Amino acid sequence: MDAKEIVHCALQIEKLNSEGSYGDIASLLGDLEKSHITAEQLETTDIVKVLYKLLKTCSDDSVKKILKSLLSKWKRQYSKDVKGVKWTEDPEITSSTEEARDGRVSNNFHSDAGQTCDSKEDSVAEQDATSLQAKPSFRTSASSDSVRSKCAELLLAALQPEPPDGDKAAELAGHIEQHIHELHKPNQVKYKACMRSKVANLRNPKNSHLRQGLLSGSLPPEDFARMSAEEMAGEELRQLREEYSSRGLSERQLPRGVEGTQTQKIRCKRCGGSDCRVTQVSRGALFLPAWVRSSGPDDDAMTFVTCSGCGQQWYHSGWTCL
């Protein structure tokens, strides 16, 4: 299961939790338990926070037991990934995990003993979730450094420097990556999205002005790191956007005033006013029902009367109201 699927699963769990659909939540938790979730995926996604929130608000005992089992499993897996050695399990955590997996054990105890076990399982699960939330700092430096170095390499490849300018371009790529990292340091997803946008625009042949500006020094790395997709666009794309914008404005411009010859000899049936305007238009330019279009050739022109006060319109066929 990749990171996108995990994020989608977390969103589905939050939605189902608000709706109280614990049966569907149990099936999603089963899919998570069958899948192999790495420590890096736990760091970059909010699945642990979602499960911890679900554990506090869920009222279904079977879902709670699956949650406790899953959190304990991830804690063991996460510790192995961090330390690189086999993790020694706490007897209390092991016993609580086994009880969470087998719901039939609790039926053999008295009610007081069952309450004690439940409270112990809750405390263990909370410790597991808390440790999973707190431990990403152990791997942050290692995983973050590898991602940042890879992003700097992608920027350097996108700059395509000439052989004499290789060292300068490498330093430039490092500065760009540093500024992007400072902008989106709290959010790894935004950092990667911004980096993909910068690399794609540098590789685009129509945006050669970005590469030339960076290598010549006219475009500082800090300004380039803060540029949006619209600002990085080439001249051709900007003109195309302006054309689309002007075309959309012309199609949706505000209506002009009432046209026609002013007259005060006709009274409006709606508001009773006599300030009207008379206009003649061709029937072929109107979308009219068949019984209106079935007129003779002598009646091709249609006379409209529009009230300037309320906007009511009539056509000249016994002055029937539209």
Q: Give a yes or no: residue 254 inside a domain.
A: no
Q: Is 54 exposed, middle or buried (0-12, 13-18, 19+ CB in 10 A)?
A: buried
| pLDDT tens column, 58-101 | 888 888 888 888 888 888 777 655 443 333 343 433 444 444 44
Q: Give a yes or no: residue 30 inside a domain.
A: yes
Phi, psi of 208 (to 5 degrees): -65, -20
State the residue for tokens 């706490």.
Answer: 90
273 shares a domain with 229 = no
Question: How far is the C-alpha of 61 from the C-alpha of 251, rounded, in Å?
Answer: 59
111 shares a domain with 148 = no
221 shares a domain with 310 = no
188 shares a domain with 210 = yes
113 pLDDT higher than 60: no
Q: Give a yes or no: residue 67 inside a domain.
A: yes
CB atoms within 10 A of CB 77: 16
Q: Give a yes or no: residue 155 inside a domain.
A: yes
284/209: higher pLDDT: 209
Least confident of 114-128, 160-174, 207-221: 114-128
What is residue 81's predicted lDDT score, i.e. its pLDDT? 52
Question: How far is the C-alpha of 276 from the C-alpha of 260, rounded, in Å?
Answer: 9
What is residue 104's predicted lDDT score, i.e. its pLDDT? 41
284 pLDDT higher than 60: no
Band (161; pLDDT cuts 50, 70, 90): low
Mean pLDDT of all residues in the chain? 73
65 shares a domain with 126 = yes
Asked whether the beta carbons of 28 and 66 are under 8 A apart, the reply is: no
What is residue 91's predicted lDDT score, i.e. its pLDDT? 40
Q: Which of 214, 42, 74 is nearest to 139 (CA)?
A: 42
Band (120; pLDDT cuts 50, 70, 90): very low
8 shares a domain with 129 = yes
Least confident of 94-108, 114-128, 225-239, 262-276: 94-108
Q: Give a yes or no: residue 252 inside a domain.
A: no
313 pLDDT higher than 80: yes
Q: How far apart are the first and last CA of the chain?
A: 62
309 shares a domain with 281 = yes
154 shares a domain with 120 = no
Q: Residue 54 belongs to what domain range?
A: 3-134
What is residue 176's predicted lDDT score, i.e. its pLDDT? 92
CA 225 to chain centre: 21
159 pLDDT higher than 60: yes
Last residue of a domain, one of 94, 116, 134: 134
CA 192 to chain centre: 14
305 shares a domain with 267 = yes
- CATH code, 299: 2.20.25.10
The sign of the CA dihedral 79, 85, 90, 96 is positive
60 shares a domain with 114 = yes
What is residue 117's predicted lDDT score, i.e. its pLDDT? 45
What is residue 162's predicted lDDT score, i.e. its pLDDT? 66
What is residue 234's predicted lDDT score, i.e. its pLDDT? 83
Last residue of a domain, one of 113, 134, 155: 134
Q: Is 316 exposed, middle or buried (0-12, 13-18, 19+ CB in 10 A)?
A: middle
Find the farthest-apart pair of alpha carbons in the chain and give their distance in angstroms, rounded: 101
146 shares a domain with 111 = no
Q: Give a yes or no: residue 248 inside a domain.
A: no
Q: Give a yes or no: residue 245 inside a domain.
A: no
Q: Give a yes or no: residue 106 inside a domain.
A: yes
Question: How far is the C-alpha of 312 from the C-alpha of 154, rounded, in Å?
Answer: 65
**Mean per-residue pLDDT, 199-210:** 87
Last residue of a domain, one of 86, 101, 134: 134
Percent over 90 (pLDDT), the chain: 2
127 shares a domain with 13 = yes
What is residue 83's predicted lDDT score, i.e. its pLDDT? 42
Number of structural domains (the chain) is 3
CB atoms within 10 A of CB 319: 11
